[in-house]
Chains A and B, each alone.
Chain A
Amino acid sequence: MASQEDPKKARIAKYIDENLKQVFADLEGDDMPDQIVDLLSVLRAQDEELKATKK
């Protein structure tokens, strides 16, 4: 992080971080890929099966 003695550098750092945060927020808003949704379903089903066999 830029020091307080260098306000211009701090301003540039803030500008860069804000832009990146916006890009990141856009990416986070994407739909989760099907392969990940499917994987989670499989993993949860496996956990349920395991639980059932332990009972």
Chain B
Amino acid sequence: MSDLDPKDELVTHLPALRAFALSLTRNRAAADDMMQDTVLKAWSNMDKFTPGTNMRAWLFTILRNNFYTSRRKLNREVADIDNVFSDKMSVKPDHDGRLQMMDFKEAFDQLPDEQREALILVGVSGFSYEDAGNMCGVATGTMKSRVNRARNRLTELLHLDEDEALELTDSATMAVVGSPGLPS
């Protein structure tokens, strides 16, 4: 349990919240608008947050509910994709590595929203299947199935099941992601 005042604790989660918003919307302007709404809602409803529970999960839940509500209202994707992930890797030291990482990001962008979200919550943020399921309002089994489908789709798109692919990609990717101080 954090000793911080909840509003101070909220601020510590903002970088992760923004990364989550970007991964859902894939558009900087939309992500920032969504984040602004989330911060406002969380701040004004801080009395509803139960101390000792997971604030990051609470914030992610508010943000994803905003996202899906907006998407339903618009009856389409909330905004055009602006290659926000690819932008992160605009200048890199290793040509092959760059291509491999771009492939990875482009493949990730092709996943349906629910599968991207599932991978981010479980694979990146470390939430259990049960917690992630609760956050998304689905059963644990559904969350497992989304994560599996997402990994299977990425495996297919990136040909990761070919024996050489992973070795080659591993070294090429590490040439990129292992380089400190990359420009954003």
Contacts from A to B (Cβ < 8 Å)? 1-2, 8-9, 11-13, 15-17, 19-24, 26-30, 32-33, 35-36, 39-40, 43-44, 47
Asked if A30 and B18 make an inter-chain contact with CB atoms under 8 angstroms apart, the answer reads yes
A28 with B166, Cβ < 8 A, contacts A36-B39, A40-B39 known: no
Q: Could you tell me the dominant secondary structure of chain B's interface residues? A: helix
Q: Is B182 engaged at the interface, CB distance under 8 Å to the other chain?
A: yes
A28 with B18, Cβ < 8 A, contacts A15-B166, A21-B124, A33-B32 known: yes
Asked if B39 and A28 make an inter-chain contact with CB atoms under 8 angstroms apart, the answer reads no
Asked if A17 and B123 make an inter-chain contact with CB atoms under 8 angstroms apart, the answer reads yes
CA distance A19 to B174 in the complex (A): 9
Other-chain residue from A8, A16, A22, A24 in contact with B161 (beta carbon distance below 8 A):
A8
Q: Is B170 engaged at the interface, CB distance under 8 Å to the other chain?
A: yes
Interface size bucket, B side? 35 or more
Other-chain residue from A8, A11, A19, A43 in contact with B177 (beta carbon distance below 8 A):
A19
- What 1/0 mask marks residues of chain B from 121 to 165 whose CB sits below 8 Å from any chain A CB? 001100000000000000000000001000100110000110000
Asked if A24 and B23 make an inter-chain contact with CB atoms under 8 angstroms apart, the answer reads yes
Q: Is B104 engaged at the interface, CB distance under 8 Å to the other chain?
A: yes
Asked if A32 and B18 make an inter-chain contact with CB atoms under 8 angstroms apart, the answer reads yes
Asked if B166 and A29 make an inter-chain contact with CB atoms under 8 angstroms apart, the answer reads no
Asked if A15 and B169 make an inter-chain contact with CB atoms under 8 angstroms apart, the answer reads yes
